[in-house]
Amino acid sequence: MKVLVIGAAGMVGRKLTAALLAEGHVGGRAIGSLVLADVVAPEAPASAITVTTAAADLSAPEVAGQLVADRPDLIFHLAAIVSGEAEADFEKGYRINLDGTRHLLEAIRLAGQTTPYWPRLVFTSSIAVFGEPLPEVIGDTQHHTPLTSYGTQKAICELLLSDYSRRGFVDGVGIRLPTIVVRPGKPNKAASGFFSGIIREPLAGQEAILPVADSVRHWFASPRAAVGFLLHAASLDTALLGNQRNLTMPGLAATVGEEIAALGRIAGAKATALIRRVPDLVIADIVAGWPKAFEASRAKTLGFRGDSSFDEIIGIHVEDELGGRIG
């Protein structure tokens, strides 16, 4: 089977690539070749499987056609600019997050007009399609009320994915990822950055800033769970989805206080003492509009599995990023 990963250089893309190459198969089908695409060509990991890399900007209309010319059987579309950037640069957000996805869907549809072609397309959507007012626990039939251009773009792509799938042009599955914690690497300026920072920095012996109250509740998944969602979506029986091709993934609901308690259990009081509370009303206000928890019943019934506790999420970070060592 031929596999294409678009957005392969990002954090989730790199972890997905590693998992694909380590497993060597998806849903029982051996991976014959893997193409890794991103705006800047990703590094090709050493592997027994043929790995090709490509510098590809989906927002250029002809690029999607080049990527699907080899008719991949399975396509992961992870490429997007993040929420903050899509809000700061309106045109770029629509060009990449909306037009890029549409070019890909169109390239797949047009490829199928000469010879039958019906690839599985796994698209990463986001819980940013939802915004206040929201119930405490959000069901699977919650209507889309995005409060950002990023969330709007993801919601539109969900609708396109369902329509192109209904028409038989593609076999699409959209998965709404929870906020990924613990993100490895340096602190960034995303409003959600502190959810990872208050775990990652103390584990590395560094101070972390907490800009919101301990009572703030949000919806999380580890990078390992996110890769698991992607792989499950790649081999799922899509006949079970009907016309609704997009699914909220089963994350873990936790408060900041619960995050800190888990950190204490794993790394002790010297770690939690490194968290400095510096209230930031701007960030608090943004975060107040975010979803707190979901039912995710459809996804669970379909076999998607999330993390079981915040202790497990921290343990995954320690194992995958810190070589099992703390501080």
Indicate which residues carry an active-site annotation.
Answer: 150
CB of 169 to its own copies, least distance (A): 8
Q: What is the rounded distance in angstroms from the CA atom of residue 80 to the CA atom of residue 230?
A: 16
109 or 217: whose CB is closer to its own copies?
109
65 binds its own copies (CB under 8 A): no
Residue from 48, 62, 143, 278 that binds its own copies (CB under 8 A)? 143
Among 84, 112, 131, 315, binds its own copies (CB under 8 A): 131
Quick note: the x/- pattern for its own copies over 157-186, rule CB under 8 A, is --xx-xx--xx-------------------
Out of 145, 235, 255, 272, the residue judged to bind its own copies by CB under 8 A: 145
Shortest distance, position 132 Cβ to its own copies, whole Å: 9
Q: Is 92 in the site for its own copies (CB under 8 A)?
A: no
- The answer to whether 147 contacts its own copies (rule: CB under 8 A) is yes
Per-residue binding string, its own copies, 96-115, x by CB under 8 A, is -------------x------
Smallest gap, in angstroms, from Cβ of residue 77 to its own copies?
18
Annotate each residue in 227-246 with x if it binds its own copies (CB under 8 A) or - if it does not, as one string.
----------------xx--
Secondary structure, 3-state, the chain: CEEEEECCCCHHHHHHHHHHHHHCEECCEECCEEEEEECCCCCCCCCCCEEEEEECCCCCCCHHHHHHCCCCCEEEECCCCCHHHHHHCHHHHHHHHHHHHHHHHHHHHHHCCCCCCCCEEEEEEEHHHCCCCCCCCECCCCCCCCCCHHHHHHHHHHHHHHHHHHCCCCEEEEEEECEECCCCCCCCCCCCHHHHHHHHHHHCCCCEEECCCCCCEEEEECHHHHHHHHHHHHHCCHHHHCCCCEEECCCEEEEHHHHHHHHHHHHCHHHHCCEEECCCHHHHHHHHCCCCCECCHHHHHCCCCCCCCHHHHHHHHHHHHCCCCCC
**Closest approach of Cβ 56 to its own copies, in Å?**
23
Residues in region 264-293 near its own copies by CB under 8 A: none
Q: At closest approach, how far in Å is the CB of 111 from its own copies?
A: 15
Which residues in this chain contact its own copies in the complex, by CB under 8 A?
90, 109, 131, 141-147, 149, 152, 155-156, 159-160, 162-163, 166-167, 243-244
